[in-house]
Amino acid sequence: MVLLLRLWLSQATEPSRRTRSHSARAAAALLFLALLAPGAPLWAANSGGTTETLPGFEFAHSGYVGSFQPGATDATGGNLTIDTGITGPIIGGYSDGGNANGNRVTITGGTHIGEGIYGGFSDGSGNASNNIVTITGGTISYMVFGGYSRGGTATGNTLRIFGNPTLSAGLVGGRVFGPAGDYRTGNTLEIHTLNLQAAGIEGFQHFRFYLPDTVRAGDTVLTVNNGVVIETPSSGPSTAPTTVGVGIEGGGTPLAVNDTVTLIKSTGALYADTGMTNTTTGMAGISSLYTFGLEKIGNSLVARVTSIEQTDESARKSPSEGKAANVALVTQGADLAAGPGMGNARAAAVLGADNMAQAGWAGFGATSGGTSRYATGSHVDMQSFSLMTGLAKRLPVSGADLLVGAFFETSVGSYDSHNETAAGESITARGDSRSAGGGLLGRVEATEGMARGLYAEATVRAGRLSSDYRSDDLNPTLGEAEYDINVAYYGAHAGVGYIWNISEQAWLDLYGKYFWTHTTGADVRILGDPVTFDDVDSYRTRLGARFGYALNKCITPYTGAAWEYEFDGTAHSVVAGVDAPAPTLKGGTGVGEMGIIWKPLPDSGFSLDLGAQGYTGVREGVGGNLSLMYEF
């Protein structure tokens, strides 16, 4: 096997040595083009690096380097993007005596006939690890290295290939010039396309094949024009087992049971572990679960489809948890507007006024925040903050106190959702939500006769809601599942109540409120699967009471309790044409509150309301609100 590797390396290297005799003409051509555009740098379309002179015993030409450290300092954080041809070496991070770790090179185009592409290059005893080389286009005729070290190790590197690049080069996860260093452990070859060719592959422990949704039975992913050894070494610096993963990027079912796809085809011999005949699973997007059998057929490694099933319902439900979290955030904004916001608008509009005719426009503001857990059939944890600010005014109406106002509102929140598969595996997701909008409010209270103390109130709101969703658990083979949406929301609330003035200091507010909130749907793609989120409507009622007692003209503590019931709040979705299980906010929640209203002076135009709430039921958690009122 060692002779086999040396054979393809020799064959891959020899043509590049012959091309060195033409390097002067290539350099002259580049110089001529540069002279046609005075002031343009030699690699005008490339970014992230500088031209550096490298040791002559290593390279015949200057290199284009992201992070260049000629001494013993580590080279880290280099990030090159290359889309035009370069004759010399391309190196994400170069250190003469230190480590070359955590660098990136991205090749998007150009013809590269030079002296190799390196994620990291340590020219001494340092390591070249955790580097990433991504190829999406171009023509590459020399070798590609994730990491290269003369005397250390070259591990944890990744080569990623997308699109349709033209390769006649060897692909190397890690190379160590000295015989003792580990050049294989953790190195990964990721291929996200079909019909690639390479001179050889070496130094990889992990192989990940991401089949596009255009794949068809009989297709080939990678043809290697030499012998291939991917079996686990029995001795040496790395004996970690070789792993192979197969997934399908995109929706639908492009393959049928018993269809085969050739993952690696060798024009010579292919050596692979016998254990690779065991099955592996791969998902198409998040909706279909493929089971593949790995087989060595002749000089090829082949994946055969043995079964196709729908994924666990938790995987298809999880994206809708993000939509449910959005609804929860917007309903919290409705609670602020109809609760502290309405109360503060009323209080601000009457502060400092002896009668309605003297009352003017008054500014008010209210904030709330907290942490809650919503039982959605699984659960969503949310941390949120809401703010509203506006102007309110009392209007003269015979026998009644009429309040009108307008406000701006915004909310921000972050959430984590938690589901569990039938096999007991956890599916978690995370995201952030933001909303901004405005609304109108109104309240009328009878001030005379038998109806004194009765009141009715209402708000209308509208705005935009943006949200994102991230999960590493829906299809780990394909990586992070994500989406971003921006939708409209609108809603209203109406309430009636009665304020009983028990004494000059004590009062009791009995109320009933109805809330309606609507968020529009959206269409997204998640790991290639089309997903449609339906519109979501929330219908809630809240019945409660609040008791307050003025200790003096400046301090009024209060306490209250309420029962809330959500009649809908269900986030329906369709994943790849099939209805997905829907999380719902439906159910009852008990609410308890306590707080204090404070004015610095009895006749001050300023007051503050500080409160805390606790929730139990479908919504569990704690929250708080801070409200400011000022009459001007």
Beta bridge partners, 395, equal: 402
Identify which has the larger pLDDT, 331 or 285. 331
pLDDT at residue number 253 = 67
Closest to 557 measured CA to CA, from 592, 591, 595: 595
Q: How confident is the model at residue 623 (pLDDT cuts 50, 70, 90)?
A: confident
C-alpha gyration radius of the chain: 33
pLDDT at residue number 45 = 67
Q: Is pLDDT of 19 > 80?
A: no
DSSP for 539-551?
EEEEEEEEEEE-S
Highest mean pLDDT among 82-86, 129-133, 626-630: 129-133
Q: Is pLDDT of 34 > 90?
A: no
Q: Is pLDDT of 489 > 80?
A: yes
pLDDT at residue number 399 = 85
Identify which has the larger pLDDT, 352 or 384. 384
DSSP for 207-249?
EEEEEETT--TT-EEEEESS-EE-SPPSSSS--PPPEEEEEEE
479/460 Cα distance (integer angstroms): 42
pLDDT at residue number 631 = 53
The answer to whether 548 and 500 are in contact (CB under 8 A) is no
90/31 Cα distance (integer angstroms): 18
Q: How confident is the model at residue 315 (pLDDT cuts 50, 70, 90)?
A: confident
Q: What percent of the chain has pLDDT over 90?
A: 54
529/213 Cα distance (integer angstroms): 10
pLDDT at residue number 629 = 61
Q: Is pLDDT of 18 > 70?
A: no
Beta-strand relationship, 228-229 and 270-271: parallel
Q: Is pLDDT of 165 > 90?
A: yes
At a CB cut-off of 8 Å and minimum separation 6, what does 235 contact? Answer: none
pLDDT at residue number 175 = 94
Identify which has the larger pLDDT, 508 or 288. 508
Q: How many beta carbons lie within 10 A of that of residue 555, not counting itself?
A: 12
Look up tokens 């390769």; give the residue.
167
Q: What percent of the chain has pLDDT over 70?
A: 88
Q: Is pLDDT of 351 > 60?
A: no
pTM exceeds 0.75, yes or no: no
The answer to whether 350 and 364 are in contact (CB under 8 A) is no
pLDDT at residue number 450 = 86
560/545 Cα distance (integer angstroms): 6
Q: Is pLDDT of 36 > 90?
A: no
Q: Is pLDDT of 6 > 60?
A: no
* pLDDT tens sequence across 224-276: 998 899 988 988 898 899 989 888 876 666 889 999 999 999 998 999 988 77
pLDDT at residue number 356 = 46
pLDDT at residue number 205 = 94
DSSP for 341-358?
IHHHHHHHHHTT-SSGGG
Which of the 8 DSSP states describes residue 277? G
pLDDT at residue number 609 = 81
596/603 Cα distance (integer angstroms): 18
Q: How confident is the model at residue 459 (pLDDT cuts 50, 70, 90)?
A: very high
Q: What is the mean pLDDT of the chain?
A: 85
581/116 Cα distance (integer angstroms): 50
DSSP, collapsed to helix, strand or coil, labels residue 601 as coil
* pLDDT tens sequence across 81-108: 999 888 889 999 999 999 999 999 999 9
Identify which has the larger pLDDT, 564 or 251. 564
Residue-wise over 484-505: b if at least 16 C-beta within 10 A, else e? ebebebbbbbebebbbeeeeee
pLDDT at residue number 48 = 84
pLDDT at residue number 605 = 63
Minimum mean pLDDT among 117-121, 386-390, 576-580, 596-600: which range? 596-600
Q: What are phi and psi of 43, to 5 degrees?
A: -110, 60
Q: How many beta carbons lie within 10 A of that of residue 219, not counting itself?
A: 18
DSSP, collapsed to helix, strand or coil, labels residue 582 as coil
Mean pLDDT of 423-432: 90
At a CB cut-off of 8 Å and minimum separation 6, what does 326 contact? Answer: 433, 465, 467, 487, 519, 536
Identify which has the larger pLDDT, 399 or 358. 399
pLDDT at residue number 25 = 38
